[in-house]
Amino acid sequence: MENCSPSVMKRLSKEVRDLVQQPPEGIRVHFDDAKLTDIHAVIDGPVDTPYCGGRFHIRLVMGHSFPQEPPKGYFLTKIFHPNIATPSGEICVNTIKRDWTPDTGLRHLLLVIKCLLIVPNAESALNQEAGRLLLEDYAEYFSRARLFTEVHALQNPAVAAGFEPMEAGDNAVLRDANDNAIASVAASSTAAGTSGLAKRPLAQPAGPAAKKSKKALKRL
């Protein structure tokens, strides 16, 4: 644990407990009393973004200068985003420092990070490729970011894609931002007799779309 003063530790304890009892919408905080300067949280991917339906695990690390300096932030879940470094997951310092004051608090910082999933900032890019695509080819950026979300962050691909729970024998097809079929999702009965989901990849589309999909997958 960093060498924080008793008053800072008391503040952190209160802040974290308040976040657990009254979490911001779409954010859940996890902590260990013995490691209050190392906070973990899960952020739900916002709707109308390529991160929708994903659950993104992040980490906030308070240094000895906290709260004069903001915590360092990291995405533990792999993500394709201009302001998230690859492969470290470090969140852009400029984003975290923006509007930070010693009185700001962790709640505000978590909301800033969630907003970053809604409005990326190409001008402070740590992932240069994501920043370039965001400015030059948004459709490709969306498709790539969505692919990362589906591979690394989706808990239930069918529900996250907007499908209702399925009965055994039903089938559905997941599609990307360009309405290309990504996978077939079939319901199957479990040993207990309840419905389950099985995901089967579809044949890759022919032509340039197939090449793009394969090229993107190699980067995952």
Q: Which residues are catalytic?
A: 92
Per-position b or e across 176-205, b if 16+ CB within 10 A of its CB: bbeebebbebbbeeeeeeeeebeeeeeebe
Sheet containing 181-189: order of strands: 171-175, 181-189, 195-201
- Identify the H or E element spanning 61: strand 55-61
Tell me the C-alpha distance between 59 and 90, whole Å.
Answer: 9
Q: Which of 122, 116, 127, 128 is nearest to 85 (CA)?
A: 127
Tell me the C-alpha distance between 134 and 86, whole Å.
Answer: 16
Q: Which of 116, 121, 19, 102 is nearest to 62 (CA)?
A: 102
Task: Phi first, then psi: give them for residue 19, nearest 5 degrees.
Answer: -65, -35
Task: Phi first, then psi: give them for residue 73, nearest 5 degrees.
Answer: -120, 145
Q: Locate the DSSP E strands across 76-158.
A: none
Distance of CA 95 to the CA centre of its chain: 16
